[in-house]
Structure 1
């Protein structure tokens, strides 16, 4: 029986804001391909009280400035601006090399680049007496981002969504679990990365930073390898990458360093060149071309590809190299993430919706927009509705956008433009269907069990997390019952389509018991299943196919913009950050038409750090 443990996380209060990485115990022991998996146990260096504090109580923290990395901002030494955890010998070296700007730059938290306004001399907001009405179709993160920027500048915004609640893939409706009670249940686990500069700005403006806490480790369980824990320590590039490989129980350090030759292209990332060069190459083929070993690929690279909800064998190298730049190598804190201490509705969506409504935004849920009306070369409004709008933002998913355009109608003066818009959307693909199963159990995992664990070799469970260790409502259930709440992420699972939640649990509970053997006999008190087939595809060719936010103007419709994580940006971005960034860019298209000063877009640098 193998036990793997690591230190418990430091508890952070407003009076003591030095942050340590969230560290908990790694899980199941490895299983060789031809042997039986030994039962795993977890150890903890500290015992838990009878009623442990809720996540929001454990991680109460003051808010910080826009765009600022919360983890970076609270652990920097004031005398030299370097992270406090930089060892003394390196700090001394920094003082000796104070006139050499390169080394200190590698240590300090990265300042984002800015995509600046095209009209810096424009108006702050619409002038008095000027009325502009905007229709935004889709109340996910992209649509809410666009609505926020426009409403703050005097635009009258109508935000519509077919769902019961706002949020898109962050949506958190209240659901009856069928036995455990009624809970707010998210679409699925989300994490906010250090390079999410636009989202940090929005969070600060909404005053919701106190709902977030750092989560700076990545835990893995494998069948063929020992458990891995990845963390970017020390926060000094490239020492953080070297140390990450050195800590691996599966990779010999010399073999690991050998992989740096293949990764030099990522370290020297050039956004425009990489997007053009590798869009037609799969990530797996790129790894073979670069001589990446099978072990390194299976331990480090393939798991990253698998949690994109796409088929790892079909993912474009252009997309994955961009994500490796954004989430691993671009700067020492790129791997650092945050999670909410309560559900996504309470933490993010409800305050955001309230701010929009305070600004006069009409938020209409359970509203199906069948199509748009195009007249005189303009997007005028919604099919079946007489009301006209000055500007329209399409902020739906790929299948939603295709369906919207197919259901649109156009007069003779707009037919060609609508045909062009449909042609823009036609090449866009959707990732395979996926399922998220949340299960309420009557038993808890051992103390020290990590909150989130990736399990790339235990398909169909690619990732699982204990929401009872992450957020308040689930933690209260665990307090009350002695049980736990686990969320299973089942990606690329068309074979599960049409099955009930009970049937899906029957198919995956054996694999879950292999991952968490102490919960093998746990009884199910409730279940909620999410079925989804709307995630953005990262297959080869999709990078080239993506339209920019202002692509409709090139098709002849200058009062229409696109927003979403499927929309192209001319800087590295993905996932939630791509959604809110393109929402801001869509708003900027409208602002420029009225000479209202556009909103700057902070973004990740377009080039990698190099090796030194």
Structure 2
């Protein structure tokens, strides 16, 4: 939803306190001859960067190593017998606070008809406790009070036991300072201080923290607080979200590829950038692994690849002079591996099962989604076969666990939350294990690279890139992609693209004053 505020300025959602981040003045188009830019990576960050540059007249080459665009939000076809279906990296929630991602999607879907609202976001705990966000008011501080007093996992008695002084720190945040203030502390240690009930603690640890595929002891409290701010205490957009109405390629990335090609972008899928050479006389030469073996000469590079590929390309690049910066980037890491398991079952799950269920307190299971509730392709399969397409996720998986033990445990835990699946036959399945997400370990922020680098010809983008706005996950990828395009455009005297964010500070002055009184 987009609206006009009281002064007539467009705003990206319902929150009247959303912050507009305008860019400086500049020309409407890049100067002639138009600079040529290589964007490495066709995920959300690379797509935003390519879009921002192409719309200002830059000549863009977008290189993606997979056959499809979308990065970690891509989808691809799979065949099970006579059935042609799709697979992806799993469920992705398009929150209403994702202003800059939605700006990108509106390039091909102005009304965002490709997104549909999820009615509820229930959470089931292993001990039988449950919670729901469907009725939580959207605006702070009413949402905080409602949840503290009405949630079955909190309530007035638990509120009296909580450490009010420690808890109040969540209500008195300024960004980006809060990232740094809490960077050395782990999310687990921070939540220990709050003395919240175990079920609420699990909600924070295993729903918010594990959204980053991280173990709570290896996840910085500053990032956790940014999540709370983004979704709960800093925004009035609410906790509910939208999901894609069909597979991601069909709904967004295929149309966006056509949009980019129409803007003159040379989109190359299924190719890997092997080497970057920053030449002393200017420009960059990129080498690819494709069959023709031709190098590409460009004026600048947007490195929007996965974290491991980014580290490799920077480490092996020639002509990048700042060894200290490169060494700092090399110390950043990847989150532990995760599992996405999609099951095509011979019978439907119960009609009252939600489209998405968060879980907490289980050994492995982190969430369950029922794809026919929202995805058109899965709905067609379900209608044709009389079954359900169910997907389970497990994050921060121990490297020592075998695939067989993971499968057995996840089937058992799925049956614990959806008992009817215990007797179901798996007609087909897709099993994916990966560890290509960025880590956010305590103390790592100081090493995490920003969009700008010591060489003006190189900018970075992605959800592992340092960003001072309170953004996370897909929104961080989109935001840094726009910022990367803006950084290059500014160097050519060209106006970039405005951005939006939730408020940069806690939005209720009375709560901030209360925090300082009890501190």
TM-score (norm 1): 0.77
Name the CA distance, whole Å, in 1 between partners of 2:505 and 2:36.
Answer: 39
Task: List aligned pairs for 1:246-395, cutoff 5 A.
Answer: 246-256=149-159, 259=162, 261=164, 262-376=166-280, 380-383=284-287, 385-395=294-304
Q: Which has the higher contact order (CA 8 A, sep 6+)?
A: 2
Offset at residue 464 of structure 1 (A): 1.0
Which string of whole-angstrom CA distances, capped at 9 and with x for unpartnered residues, describes residues 354-403 of structure 1? 11111111111111111201211755021364431111110011111012
> Counterpart of 1:561?
459
**Contact preservation (8 Å) 1:136, 1:395:** yes
Name the CA distance, whole Å, in 2 between partners of 1:174 and 1:284.
Answer: 39
> Aligned with 2:68: secondary structure?
coil
> Aligned with 2:327: secondary structure?
helix
> Counterpart of 1:35?
none
> Aligned with 2:340: secondary structure?
strand
**Contact preservation (8 Å) 1:67, 1:200:** no
Which string of whole-angstrom CA distances, capped at 9 and with x for unpartnered residues, describes residues 318-371 of structure 1? 110111101111123241311111111111111111111111111111111112
Which of 509, 526, 535 matches 2:411? 509
Which of 9, 23, 42 matches 1:117? 23
Task: List aligned pairs for 1:15-414, cutoff 5 A.
Answer: 68-69=12-13, 72=14, 109-118=15-24, 120=25, 122-127=26-31, 129-176=32-79, 178-179=80-81, 181-207=83-109, 209-215=112-118, 217-231=120-134, 233-256=136-159, 259=162, 261=164, 262-376=166-280, 380-383=284-287, 385-408=294-317, 410=318, 414=319
Offset at residue 496 of structure 1 (A): 7.0
Name the CA distance, whole Å, in 1 between partners of 2:282 and 2:402.
Answer: 41
Name the CA distance, whole Å, in 2 between partners of 1:421 and 1:478.
Answer: 52
Which string of whole-angstrom CA distances, capped at 9 and with x for unpartnered residues, describes residues 483-537 of structure 1? 00001101112447773xx774334212211121112111111111122111111
> Aligned with 1:392: secondary structure?
strand
Name the CA distance, whole Å, in 1 between partners of 2:387 and 2:301.
Answer: 48
Name the CA distance, whole Å, in 2 between partners of 1:147 and 1:337.
Answer: 26
The verdict on how the C-alpha distance between 1:455 and 1:527 changes in structure 2, with shifts beyond 3 A counting, is same
Offset at residue 282 of structure 1 (A): 0.8
Higher mean C-alpha displacement, 254-263 vs 136-145: 254-263
Name the CA distance, whole Å, in 2 between partners of 1:467 and 1:535.
Answer: 23
**Contact preservation (8 Å) 2:138, 2:239:** no
Offset at residue 432 of structure 1 (A): 0.1
Name the CA distance, whole Å, in 2 between partners of 1:206 and 1:243.
Answer: 38
> Counterpart of 1:416?
321
Which of 409, 431, 447 matches 1:545? 447
> Counterpart of 2:516?
none
The verdict on how the C-alpha distance between 1:391 and 1:68 changes in structure 2, with shifts beyond 3 A counting, is same
Name the CA distance, whole Å, in 2 between partners of 1:290 and 1:516.
Answer: 32
> Counterpart of 1:595?
493
Cα RMSD after superposing both structures = 2.3
Higher mean C-alpha displacement, 524-533 vs 297-306: 297-306
Which string of whole-angstrom CA distances, capped at 9 and with x for unpartnered residues, describes residues 242-267 of structure 1? 22233322333242365482332112
Name the CA distance, whole Å, in 1 between partners of 2:485 and 2:276.
Answer: 18
Name the CA distance, whole Å, in 2 between partners of 1:332 and 1:281.
Answer: 27
> Aligned with 1:144: secondary structure?
helix
The verdict on how the C-alpha distance between 1:170 and 1:295 changes in structure 2, with shifts beyond 3 A counting, is closer
Offset at residue 562 of structure 1 (A): 0.4
> Counterpart of 1:29?
none
The verdict on how the C-alpha distance between 1:234 and 1:372 changes in structure 2, with shifts beyond 3 A counting, is same
Name the CA distance, whole Å, in 2 between partners of 1:273 and 1:333.
Answer: 23
How many correspondences in the alignment? Answer: 496
Name the CA distance, whole Å, in 1 between partners of 2:69 and 2:419.
Answer: 38
Offset at residue 421 of structure 1 (A): 4.6
> Counterpart of 1:23?
none
> Counterpart of 2:472?
574
Name the CA distance, whole Å, in 2 between partners of 1:491 and 1:588.
Answer: 34
Name the CA distance, whole Å, in 2 between partners of 1:254 and 1:407.
Answer: 58
> Counterpart of 2:333?
429
Name the CA distance, whole Å, in 2 between partners of 1:406 and 1:227.
Answer: 47
> Aligned with 2:127: secondary structure?
coil
User: Which one has the largest radius of gyration?
Assistant: 1
> Aligned with 2:437: secondary structure?
coil
The verdict on how the C-alpha distance between 1:591 and 1:415 changes in structure 2, with shifts beyond 3 A counting, is closer
Offset at residue 294 of structure 1 (A): 3.7
> Aligned with 1:535: secondary structure?
coil
Which string of whole-angstrom CA distances, capped at 9 and with x for unpartnered residues, describes residues 570-611 of structure 1? 211111110011011110111111111121121222101235
The verdict on how the C-alpha distance between 1:115 and 1:503 changes in structure 2, with shifts beyond 3 A counting, is same
Which of 445, 459, 475 matches 2:349? 445
Offset at residue 272 of structure 1 (A): 3.0
> Aligned with 1:352: secondary structure?
helix
Offset at residue 301 of structure 1 (A): 4.5
Is 1:478 the counterpart of 2:382? The answer is yes
Name the CA distance, whole Å, in 2 between partners of 1:153 and 1:159.
Answer: 16
The verdict on how the C-alpha distance between 1:379 and 1:401 changes in structure 2, with shifts beyond 3 A counting, is farther
Higher strand share: 2
Which string of whole-angstrom CA distances, capped at 9 and with x for unpartnered residues, describes residues 192-224 of structure 1? 112111112122222250011222532111122
Name the CA distance, whole Å, in 2 between partners of 1:439 and 1:355.
Answer: 34
